[in-house]
Amino acid sequence: MSPSTRIAFVDGRLVPESEAAVPLRRIGGGIGGSTHGRTRTFRGRPFRIEAHVDALFAALDRQGVDPRLAPHEVLAACGDVLAHNADALARHGDLWITIRVLRSTEPVPGEPPPPPVTIVDCAPLPLGYWSDLHRAGEPQPAAPSRVRSGR
């Protein structure tokens, strides 16, 4: 594996990002059937990762989705992914860390739904992409509103 190959965690295994795959009926990430959380690193350390994982699990609980992993296992997967991508961290500076839980979005009549898939991956932060916005700002349109007196 070349040093430029990033590693991802997919359903309990660390795999090269280029080989990460999910079964066809669990493609929720592309068509709205996923729950995800994202944070970044600062100086190589994940920012508030525990809070992000807690928020992710709270959302999964509200949706009735069992990711088949405990929060401490997802935290460990985040640490493993960062450790295995230390060369990307060294080359690019800080990274995004994204956690996705994909659920089945295409049930097949008469078949039980496949279990969700949990994915943890990282990618370089595209700070250059946002640099102009940090300097000049971005116009934010606002809908007009009426303020009624006496109410």
Give Dmax (Cα) for the chain.
70
Q: What is the pLDDT of residue 105?
A: 65
pLDDT band at 1; cut points 50, 70, 90 = very low
Domain ranges of the chain: 7-128
Class of CATH domain 7-128:
alpha beta
**Confidence (pTM):** 0.76
CB 76 within 8 A of CB 44: no
Q: Taking residues 123-144, report their average pLDDT.
A: 72
Q: What was the pLDDT predicted at 28?
A: 57
Over range 130-148, report the average pLDDT.
67
Residue that wins the pLDDT comparison between 124 and 80: 80
Report pLDDT for 149: 60
Could you report the per-residue pLDDT of 70-96, keeping only the tens digit for each? 999 999 999 999 999 888 777 878 889
Q: What is the pLDDT of residues 9-66, one digit of tens each?
A: 988 889 988 888 776 556 555 556 788 899 999 988 899 999 999 999 999 999 888 9
- The band of 137, judged by pLDDT with boundaries at 50, 70 and 90, is low
Residues contacting 127, CB < 8 A, separation 6+: 93
